[in-house]
């Protein structure tokens, strides 16, 4: 009985959780006529045509390429800045360190919309408008503080004596950091990268405001898909499925550490 009960719970759980995703996949495999004309729980005439449209039309697939470019740039930038910063917060005492550390989070206290206007004006003025680096830099404002918080937690879990032993052994600081320290907090780096990636991947407002053609992200492409012949439901659904995939892939790699990441490394 107990196992049947848990099976029921499991079924309900999967039903509620996966229905939206199932419906998206379902739609992406249908024709527009079937989507708008009939109700069917599964595609009656399964077609991959919607995916073909996306993967062959450069105005579609360039959206993915643009998004991936600035997301990867942003993740690399955020980690490159956050690693030394987090090390300083975890290992050194300096004037105002606790306040600085807390106020890092102020940038996360406001919605991105607040920064859309100043960023737009600033980047236009310095000629960075509609470039990948513009979006990557804008997202750093949100991702660097979070990455610093996550990495600081993981770093503080490593005893300071390891640093000292390495110096005594003759390691220089950069060499110690790369050879000894980074492997020790590899899971923290993975989790921080995951959070940066996910924020940058799903963030729409800033990325749409700061781009027009050359660096237009996929999410923006999806919102501008109303054509003369009406809404192209099937292609839009296929685009949605392809947008979920990178996130799912990244989650798969850090699945064992995510809980620790949400606790900012302080478990």
Q: What's the closest the beta carbon of residue 47 comes to other proteins, in angstroms?
A: 50
CA pair distance 248, 49, nearest whole angstrom: 23
Q: Which of residues 68, 141, 184, 198 is near other proteins by CB under 8 A?
A: 184
Determine if 172 is a binding residue for other proteins (CB under 8 A): yes
Binding footprint of other proteins, residue count (CB under 8 A): 16
229 binds other proteins per the rule CB under 8 A = no
Residue 97 binds other proteins (CB under 8 A): no
87, 155 Cβ separation under 8 angstroms: yes
Contacts of 193 (CB under 8 A, 6+ apart): 75, 79, 254
- Give the binding range for other proteins (CB under 8 A) out of 11-19, 117-125, 169-177, 204-212: 169-177
| CB nearer to other proteins: pick between 13 and 167 | 167
> Is residue 209 within 8 Å of 116, Cβ to Cβ?
yes
Residue 252 sits at φ, ψ, to 5 deg, of -55, -40
* CA separation for the pair 27, 46 (Å, rounded): 10
* CA triple 121-82-131, angle to 5 deg: 30
Q: Report the distance separating Cα 17 and Cα 85, nearest Å.
A: 38
Closer of 182 and 259 to other proteins (Cβ)? 182
Task: Determine if 165 is a binding residue for other proteins (CB under 8 A).
Answer: yes
Compare residues 61 and 171 and give the one whose CB is closer to other proteins: 171
Tell which one of 111, 183, 228, 230 touches other proteins (CB under 8 A): 183
Nearest residue to 24 via CA among 264, 243, 249, 259: 243
Question: Is there binding between residue 168 and other proteins (CB under 8 A)?
Answer: yes
| Interatomic CA distance for residues 43 and 33, integer angstroms | 11
**From candidates 22, 61, 171, 177, binder to other proteins by CB under 8 A:** 171
Rule CB under 8 A: say whether 178 interacts with other proteins.
no
For binding to other proteins (CB under 8 A), which residues are involved?
Answer: 159, 161-162, 164-172, 175, 180, 183-184
């Amino acid at each position: 009985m107990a196992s049947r009960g848990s099976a029921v719970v499991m079924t309900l759980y999967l039903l509620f959780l996966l229905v939206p995703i199932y419906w998206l996949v379902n739609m992406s495999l249908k024709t527009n006529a079937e989507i708008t004309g009939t109700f069917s729980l599964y595609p009656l005439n399964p077609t991959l045509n919607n995916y073909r449209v996306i993967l062959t039309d450069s105005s579609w697939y360039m959206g993915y390429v643009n998004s991936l470019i600035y997301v990867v740039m942003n993740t690399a930038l955020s980690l490159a800045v956050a690693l030394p910063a987090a090390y300083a917060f975890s290992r050194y005492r300096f004037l105002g360190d606790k306040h600085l550390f807390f106020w890092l989070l102020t940038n996360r206290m406001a919605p991105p919309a607040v920064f859309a206007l100043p960023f737009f004006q600033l980047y236009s003025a310095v000629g960075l408008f509609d470039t990948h680096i513009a979006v990557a830099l804008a997202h750093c404002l949100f991702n660097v503080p979070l990455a610093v918080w996550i990495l600081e937690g993981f770093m503080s879990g490593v005893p300071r004596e390891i640093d000292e032993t390495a110096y005594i052994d003759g390691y220089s600081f950069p060499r110690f950091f790369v050879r000894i320290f980074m492997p020790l907090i590899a899971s923290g780096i993975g989790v921080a990268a995951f959070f940066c990636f996910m924020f940058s991947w799903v963030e729409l407002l800033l990325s749409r405001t700061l781009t027009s053609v050359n660096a237009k992200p996929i999410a923006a492409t999806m919102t501008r898909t109303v054509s003369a012949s009406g809404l192209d439901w099937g292609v839009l659904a296929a685009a949605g499925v392809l947008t979920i995939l990178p996130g799912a892939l990244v989650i798969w790699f850090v699945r064992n550490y995510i809980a620790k990441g949400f606790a900012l490394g302080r478990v």
